[in-house]
Structure 1
Amino acid sequence: MGAAAAGVILLASLLPTQAQAAPVPGAVQGAKTDAAQRRADYDSRANLAAAAVAQPTAALNRALVAQPSASAVNTLRDSLGVQGIIDIDRATGTPRRVAKLDGFLTAPSKKKPAAIALDYVKAHPEVFGLSAAALASLELRQDYVDIEGTHHLSWVQVADGVPVFGNGLKAHVTSDGRLVQVDGAPLKSVPAAAGAAKVTPAGARAAAVKDVFGTSTAKATKTAGDVTTFSDNGNVKKVWFQTASGPRLAWQTIVVDEGYVSVIDAATGEVLYRKSTVANDTANVWENYPGAVKGGVAKKVDLTAKGWLPKNAPRLSGNVAHVYSDVNDNDLPDASEEVGPSGLGKWDYPLVDFNEQVGGLCSDAFPCSWDPATANSWQTNRKQNAVQLFTFLGTFHDHLKAGPIGFTRAAGNFEAQDGDAVQGQAMDGANTADGLPDANHTDNANMNTPPDGIPPVMQMYLLNPGPESVAANTGDEADVVFHEYTHGLSNRLVVDASGNSTLSSQQGGAMGEAWSDWYASDYLVAKGLEKDTAKPGEVLIGKYWTAGGTIRTEGLDCKVNSPAAICPGTPGAGPGGYTYGDYGKVYAGGAEVHADGEIWAQTLWDLRDAIGSKKSQSLVTRAMELSPANPSYLDMRNSILAADRVVNDGDNAKKIWKVFATRGMGYFAAAVDGDDAQPVEDFSMPPAANTPRGSLTGKVSDTDTGAAVSGLTIAFGGHASGFAGDYRATTAANGTYTISGIIPGTYAKVFARGAGFDPVVKTLSINSGTKTENWVVRKDWAASSGGGSIVSATGPDYTPYGCGPTAMIDQSQISGWGSDVAAEGQTLVVKLSGAVDVSELVINPSATCGDDETASTGGYRVETSVDGTTWAAAASGTFPGGTVTPTVVALAAGTGDGIGYVRYTMLTTQGQDAGLCPADQPPAFSGCVFQDSTELAVYGPAA
């Protein structure tokens, strides 16, 4: 669900001529149909983790989520010192990461790396909590040794011959036998027997294809054991998947021609997990291009000597890549789309410019390579572009494979000898509209990276001319190709124990874009193809496309407080280089991976300046290998520090800390997790190990009754489980709590949270004494975390999109209930967690699920009931246009006394109310197709 108007500035002159109805979260900007959209990544395990956090003291009836005792975690953490990390996964109760940033977990040893790691796990059962059966289920999947000699070990948990998906055990051991880190969040217990699957492999794949609006008709080609291979090179295999009721038998489906890895429940066919393997870029990177001051003149390259192409090859297919012109976008190398040599052993196809025909920004410095006004004009440079793309792929393959990066075959790189050479599709879709590309096949590029062993697919598109762009081709630009290729690097290195990419979080996705910018620019500057002097604002992304400008907001080399004229920034984030506190502010529409990725890219460029290109290449790459699943910026900062400990014995630690502290990622910076779109910045260096500690104590009471509240969690965001200590406590029966051992400082995300209560967040300064802080919290009787539930709802259920009816009572002002416009509106019934005398009912009518604000609820109706059978009309009216925040709805006298149920109806949208949806015209706004509300809350004392 979602509307294409999302992200479009709502001014009359800029509105689309018709609605792009039903694109889904994470859609490609500019796509016009459902089939062209990208489904948002989805992991049902996140719901389990959220439940564990929302109900930290509730009996969840699943021992696998039980957390290790605070004393056990504290004891081990204290033994690791002030820079020790023990990060417990809230869904499994096992460590997401155990590490020591200023040292190692163990001393040097001559034991085998696997034994060193497992001995450590067995020595700390109070923290890892693995049963004997869980330990016995571990099977070593990989012992990959990087170019620095560090062993990266991955164990998959296998029960009854079936592997566990995602959760497993990972460890990292230096060449001299020191344990760097343990991660992976394995399951504490595993099933004894798998039983039979009700859903067939073909049925699971069909469910996965349907889930993403796919059209794939690939057929099964081979079945070996529990693995069925299909004609698109994808496969389906049995896995265990963690759910709220424990591990369930499921099918992992890799659908290459749709670009997704999914997990389908083997009993019900329910989608449990969905991860796009495609990295889409509507604003891409390129720099070394035809006409560039350096690197803009064609030179001879020996493709055979490089090892990229066999001697006298008939087409562009070798060990590093197979490139063809997929102009009809059928994802197949049709005979007419292959490119052969221009002569015996020669691949000479000079670029023919279209400068005179196109005009505009076309010039010798920025040559146009096709004419969008002339059908089939792209054919002139079709072969030239394919050869150029093939050469770029070979160049960057070799660069990433060499030291100090070391993206080798063992690390999961892309080579034909392992069955996964890059499939490069030049001019993708150029002939999808009668000799021209349709709207879904211009101004873009992407890289679809399945797990190791399955070939990735890179699609390069033509570029349309505009006020700030030229009619060119992404395959002719070095840094757009290098950017896309780097998506393959990051998605092969930041993986779970099974080898699946875990870059689906908000901050993880932003780092994915930043790494792609950084590796491409680092290469071009290091090779002297682009310059980087002391002057800021020189390292620009997108010079060719923008005829000398950039497709980012400013240069990678913009320092904090750089002059505004050179590094203008954005109105939301301000001028100069960006800091962590700018997250979600770089782009006017909120968090966005390309925009927020600029923060990480600039930070890494600072790191490059501080320690040099080669050392940065080494540490940034090694950090990917040490990354926990779904990393935040702070997770990856810690990984870079850990990598320096391994590679350089920690010699660069102070410089690294200074770089990150300058960018707001200092010691007291906070992020709840990788999906936190509002992280808190801090500019502090780490405190000394012998720093005196402080304490926080106080009492929690209820807003409406004044009574003490027991069982609530008081915790420090970013420091509640892992780095900088486990600062967390649960209120006692009298509402009191105490947290001790706190390093003095200012903490901006200290929160009180518990089942059914709205979270309260404060900024607290802690000194070496004892600070008293009392809290007043408010119970939301509708909240699902406190026992509220959805009894029924009309309209389609968009739960798989993250905006089903239950999102209406999840205490979030971001996620919400999305539905379709209907003549009688759409209704849901909420059962409250108890009978209440309502003092206030609050509704946030704002749009959700990617829709523009016209989908916000306009006309509404509220009814209340004591028993869920007899209803009273409590309120009705219209939210004025532009109402997109929590709004108090006054109830009629007596209709809020002792109620147990609320029935809420969205009657119209604000777009309909504004007259934006005439019946005789195609829908132009989200509110003509979808109607949404974000949250409903009920407050008051118990009846």
Structure 2
Amino acid sequence: MRPFSVPSATRRVGAAAAGVVLLAALLPAQAQAAPVPGAVTGATDSKQQRRADYDSRQNLAAAAAAQPTAALSRAVVPAPAGNAVKTLRDSLGVQGIVDIDRATGTPRRVAKLDGFLTGPSTKKPAKIALDYVKAHPEVFGIDAADLATLVLRQDYVDVEGTHHLSWVQVADGVPVFGNGLKAHVTADGRLVQVDGSPLKALPSSAGAAKVSATAARAAAVKDVFGTSTAKVTKTEGGKTTFSDKGNAKQVWFQTASGPRLAWQTIAVDEGYVHVVDAASGEVLYRKSTIANDRADVWQNYPGAPKGGKQQPVDLAGKGWLPNNARVLSGNVAHVWSDVNDNDLPDASEEVGPSGVRSWNYPFVDFNDEVGGLCSDAYPCSWDPETPNSWQTNRKQNAVQLFAFLGTFHDHLKAGPIGFTRAAGNFEAQDGDAVQGQAMDGANTADGLPDANHTDNANMNTPPDGIPPVMQMYLLSPGPSSVAANTGDEADVVFHEYTHGLSNRLVVDADGNSTLSDQQGGAMGEAWSDFYAWDYLVAKGLEKDTAKPGEVLVGKYWTAGGTIRYEALDCPVGSAATECAGTPGAGPGGFTYGDYGKIYAGGPEVHADGEIWAQTLWDLRQAVGSKTAQSIVTRGMELSPSNPSFLDMRNSILAADLVVNKGKNAKTIWKVFAKRGMGYFAAAIDGDDAQPVEDFSTPPSANTPRGTLKGKATDSDTGAAVAGLTVAFGGHASGFAGDYRATTGADGTYTISGIIPGTYAKVYARGAGYDQVVKTLSINSGTKTENWSVRKDWAASSGGASIVSFTGVDYTPYGCGPNELIDQSQLAGWGSEIETEAGQNAVIRLSGTVDVSELVINPSATCGDDETASTGGYRVETSVDGTTWAVAASGTFPAGTVTPTPVALAAGTGDGIGFVRFTMLTSQGQDAGLCPAGQPPTVSGCVFLDSTELAVYGQAG
């Protein structure tokens, strides 16, 4: 949802807007407000309107996916590379993975879930890994000369003795951003996995950058509407350091034209990592380093039955503070009360000892002043009606936050988790102790917090070596919440801290976090829930018996309720009240098929994260806390970039193979299969918001196989369609025995070696053709299935483009004009009501066409409610893009939110090359919901949207 003044009750999550998360208010699940569009986790203060993550390399993968022939030319043909990939896949068996990155044509992951890539060895881990790469040069795209460009960045040994090695590719002294080589070798010399998607060719010379480091950082700050004025403090060793402790350095960045010289900038005070083209200043990559949470209010709060009373702790004895410290600053953290939200520890905001080597600040409740849900069991810590009341517990809260940070630092550092210094944890001796900002923004409205400084908490995690920032806020009271403080709650702090763990372990070869906004983002929230509650239960601070529905997140804040839709310990099919589910997902524990259905507005990282969190809790119950801690953490270290739930399932299986010799493999498969993440579950990648669930465990290797063959034809012309991909969802992304083929010149294809069964997502798609999905039952014989596909001449994947458009560009929020022609009924074009002329977009078709049908889906997008759907519209056509004819006009009736054919006037659809679509009014306007002079009450009074436009016909 984009920023505007419509009350939050009228807003809803945009299902297609990448990176959209709810930031408006930390409300219980049944009363959630809408997200800010394009926002990323953590935007709760002056940086509330944050830009969505962006990676131009995704365009390379998207182009490859839209043009299967081109994609396969990198991964399958020509020989010998294609043969080598197939040979390696086949050699690894049924549970082998050779997952080719479409953007680079090199492996995203090579692994074997039921074994190792190599046997035991006494060689050095680096040699073991590089020897394997040398043995498969056609697969990895790296020859002897390329190996010389690799620089070992890290050889991190985890607590189980496994070496996690990362090599950065370097050319002319400049490292490659993101792409590189990673490998994982056990203590006894077995190669577990190789990943990283290295680049096949690098320039020999970098040349001179036209854009300076300072200018690149300025471009990055401008890109996120930032206000940073950080100055250069040092330039040394090719790196420019700034006063916010961020930096800029030159890197190579993969583009469609090959690697380009660029600047990687880290702006700590803005909370972003950028890559900026060194010649043009163009932003090539943007990633927020902030991880935020809406609903992170856990037990171990004041008044809790266990762990709810203040007890003495030796801050210096635990190594958290130096002896005779004057402020809360030590090896694990620096905590101050950032009540003015300037991100600086002002002298008045620091907290010192209460006496000689004493930090005793008693907690004072505000139960009588606030009333409502405040009680001895759920005490309030401030009075929102009294300015500066938070001052009473300010010092107590800062000390509490500091102790929580030290506690969880030590817990994660110890085995079997092992988040050590080598793994990238947070310690002052490495220059990156957590910067804890207690009561952030409490004094931003004359002694009270403004609306942007309540009901939230966040963790900003830059790459290793730069301090993370944790911001904790006051909680405002409501019908189902108490006036409390997030820094007083163990689990909210532990949850935020775990964002740092996941963002430091799931990284590319250069150490940058690769957790996506969809499934990766959901797992980020789930890991935070899991690690926090695993600790509380393991320490006896909370109970988890055989009774379902006991692990309720947010008891303190909600005075005994929960801020999640379900408890973590809800088994599939449970009838417990705490496992009631949602209308979209149904009751009982969540499964993979519930992805995008838990929250009514569509995919949402906190809601969808409950699927992963419940699965991990099942795993904990099945294998025990310690084993789960071990293999879940090791799984993060073995993760490929931008992981899906299925990628992480595979990583956990691989971790168990390393740690426990695979003895838990059957149990792990059963746990994941029970939650719909079985062997045949399907997800394209970590950004897939519509995965397909499956409940089966791996088939036997000697299971009889079947064959699928047939022909693809154009439904409008009847002609054979070449270059079309026919594939099985879940079996077309790297597993041994991929079920996919490309149609030949005559439109025919053959896929062999198929395990018999019913497959829910068998699809045919290609550049410019609408995807066709079928459910097919395959037996051990041969099945013939023909495909009739339709070419959309307005589809961007086929070469159509947006020539021009009017209105605000909401591309950063995932709903720009290009989404109108992306062949998706989820994402769309969102604009604003500005003039009576409406908003228009001009589309250059992929060729000249005699139109047989034009279809428009006028539904709202970008998080708007249905009233923002297009009502009045006009369609104009043109041969040359200059001379236009009105082809159709009218009004979509209220409630029209599906693809709707629009009839064109005679002669206006013959031999056209351009279409101009104008949104004139919203359905809310047409329904009289937006009286003049009145404040808007629905989205359709402000916004004007359409989801998709398609053009069908024959070449003219």
Query: What TM-score does the superposition give when structure 1 sets the normalisation length?
Result: 0.96
Q: Report if the CA contact (8 A) 1:68-1:127 is conserved.
A: no
Match of 2:622 in 1: 610
Number of residues paired by the alignment? 937
Is 1:523 paired with 2:542?
no
Counterpart among 183, 186, 197 of residue 209 in structure 2: 197
Residue pairs, 1:408-427, within 5 angstroms = 408-427=420-439
Q: Report if the CA contact (8 A) 1:261-1:274 is conserved.
A: yes
Residue pairs, 1:540-619, within 5 angstroms = 540-619=552-631
Is 620-629 or 701-710 further displaced after alignment?
701-710
Counterpart among 337, 340, 349 of residue 325 in structure 1: 337
Match of 2:838 in 1: 825
Cα 1:891–1:185 shift into 2, 3 Å: same
Counterpart among 716, 728, 745 of residue 716 in structure 1: 728
What is the SS of the residue equivalent to 2:851?
A: coil
Give the deviation of 1:749 after TM superposition: 1.6
Cα 1:345–1:22 shift into 2, 3 Å: closer
Match of 2:29 in 1: none
What is the SS of the residue equivalent to 2:955?
A: coil
Q: Report if the CA contact (8 A) 1:327-1:428 is conserved.
A: yes
In 1: Cα distance, 2:140 partner to 2:889 partner: 54
In 1: Cα distance, 2:328 partner to 2:42 partner: 31
Match of 2:459 in 1: 447
Cα 1:63–1:639 shift into 2, 3 Å: closer
Gap regions ≥5 residues in structure 2: 13-23, 26-32
Deviation per residue, 1:839-876 (Å, 9 max, x gap)? 11011222333344333322221111223232211011
Give the deviation of 1:67 after TM superposition: 10
Cα 1:58–1:523 shift into 2, 3 Å: closer
Give the deviation of 1:801 after TM superposition: 3.7
Residue pairs, 1:338-349, within 5 angstroms = 338-349=350-361
In 2: Cα distance, 1:551 partner to 1:22 partner: 16
Deviation per residue, 1:542-589 (Å, 9 max, x gap)? 111011111101211110111142411111111111111111111111
Is 835-844 or 287-296 further displaced after alignment?
835-844
Match of 2:853 in 1: 840
Match of 1:655 in 2: 667
What is the SS of the residue equivalent to 1:837?
A: strand
In 1: Cα distance, 2:361 partner to 2:45 partner: 34
Match of 1:889 in 2: 902
Match of 1:300 in 2: 312
Is 1:691 paired with 2:691?
no
Q: Report if the CA contact (8 A) 1:852-1:925 is conserved.
A: yes
Match of 1:122 in 2: 134
In 2: Cα distance, 1:778 partner to 1:395 partner: 59
Q: Report if the CA contact (8 A) 2:11-2:863 is conserved.
A: no
Give the deviation of 1:922 after TM superposition: 4.8
Match of 1:514 in 2: 526
In 2: Cα distance, 1:767 partner to 1:249 partner: 52
In 2: Cα distance, 1:423 partner to 1:702 partner: 60
Q: Report if the CA contact (8 A) 1:67-1:93 is conserved.
A: no
Is 1:907 paired with 2:907?
no
Cα 1:321–1:58 shift into 2, 3 Å: closer
Deviation per residue, 1:229-255 (Å, 9 max, x gap)? 111111111111111111111111111
Give the deviation of 1:942 after TM superposition: 2.0
Deviation per residue, 1:371-425 (Å, 9 max, x gap)? 0000000000000000000000000000000000000000000000000000000
Counterpart among 232, 245, 248 of residue 236 in structure 1: 248
**AA matched with 1:484:** E
Is 1:477 paired with 2:489?
yes
In 2: Cα distance, 1:622 partner to 1:814 partner: 35
Is 1:620 paired with 2:635?
no
Is 1:678 paired with 2:693?
no
Q: Report if the CA contact (8 A) 1:749-1:761 is conserved.
A: yes
Note the aligned Cα RMSD (angstroms). 2.3
Q: Report if the CA contact (8 A) 2:41-2:458 is conserved.
A: no
Residue pairs, 1:754-793, within 5 angstroms = 754-793=766-805
Give the deviation of 1:4 after TM superposition: 5.9
Give the deviation of 1:918 after TM superposition: 4.7
Cα 1:679–1:128 shift into 2, 3 Å: same
Cα 1:67–1:371 shift into 2, 3 Å: farther
In 1: Cα distance, 2:435 partner to 2:879 partner: 62
Q: Report if the CA contact (8 A) 2:522-2:609 is conserved.
A: yes
Match of 2:819 in 1: 807
In 2: Cα distance, 1:484 partner to 1:552 partner: 16
Counterpart among 80, 105, 126 of residue 93 in structure 1: 105
Cα 1:62–1:745 shift into 2, 3 Å: closer
Is 1:942 paired with 2:955?
yes
Q: Report if the CA contact (8 A) 1:52-1:65 is conserved.
A: no
What is the SS of the residue equivalent to 2:298?
A: coil
Q: Report if the CA contact (8 A) 2:794-2:845 is conserved.
A: yes
**AA matched with 1:834:** G
Cα 1:63–1:588 shift into 2, 3 Å: closer
Counterpart among 279, 282, 285 of residue 294 in structure 2: 282
Cα 1:398–1:413 shift into 2, 3 Å: same
Deviation per residue, 1:274-297 (Å, 9 max, x gap)? 111111112113111110011111
Give the deviation of 1:471 after TM superposition: 0.3
Counterpart among 225, 229, 244 of residue 213 in structure 1: 225
Cα 1:876–1:82 shift into 2, 3 Å: same
Is 1:357 paired with 2:372?
no
Cα 1:416–1:373 shift into 2, 3 Å: same
Counterpart among 381, 396, 400 of residue 393 in structure 2: 381
In 2: Cα distance, 1:28 partner to 1:917 partner: 32
**AA matched with 2:434:** V
Match of 2:2 in 1: 2
Match of 2:115 in 1: 103
What is the SS of the residue equivalent to 1:839?
A: strand
Gap regions ≥5 residues in structure 1: none
Cα 1:818–1:68 shift into 2, 3 Å: farther
Match of 1:73 in 2: 85
What is the SS of the residue equivalent to 2:68?
A: coil
In 1: Cα distance, 2:127 partner to 2:555 partner: 51
What is the SS of the residue equivalent to 2:856?
A: strand
Is 1:868 paired with 2:870?
no
Match of 2:872 in 1: 859
Match of 1:82 in 2: 94
Q: Report if the CA contact (8 A) 1:5-1:852 is conserved.
A: no
In 2: Cα distance, 1:42 partner to 1:115 partner: 36
Match of 1:880 in 2: 893
Give the deviation of 1:70 after TM superposition: 4.4
What is the SS of the residue equivalent to 2:579?
A: coil
What's the % identity of the aligned pairs?
82
In 2: Cα distance, 1:67 partner to 1:388 partner: 63
Match of 2:20 in 1: none
In 1: Cα distance, 2:911 partner to 2:2 partner: 38
Q: Report if the CA contact (8 A) 1:802-1:849 is conserved.
A: yes
Give the deviation of 1:72 after TM superposition: 2.6
Query: What TM-score does the superposition give when structure 2 sets the normalisation length?
Result: 0.95
Match of 1:254 in 2: 266
Q: Report if the CA contact (8 A) 1:324-1:386 is conserved.
A: yes
Deviation per residue, 1:675-726 (Å, 9 max, x gap)? 1111111110111111122111011111112221111111112211212532
Give the deviation of 1:21 after TM superposition: 12
Is 559-568 or 534-543 further displaced after alignment?
559-568
What is the SS of the residue equivalent to 2:618?
A: helix
Cα 1:245–1:916 shift into 2, 3 Å: farther
In 2: Cα distance, 1:820 partner to 1:827 partner: 11
Is 467-476 or 761-770 further displaced after alignment?
761-770
Q: Report if the CA contact (8 A) 1:3-1:22 is conserved.
A: no
What is the SS of the residue equivalent to 1:48?
A: helix
Q: Report if the CA contact (8 A) 1:5-1:926 is conserved.
A: no
Give the deviation of 1:127 after TM superposition: 1.3
Deviation per residue, 1:310-333 (Å, 9 max, x gap)? 111101001000000000000000
Give the deviation of 1:132 after TM superposition: 4.5
What is the SS of the residue equivalent to 2:581?
A: coil
Is 1:436 paired with 2:448?
yes
Q: Report if the CA contact (8 A) 1:65-1:93 is conserved.
A: no
Match of 2:757 in 1: 745
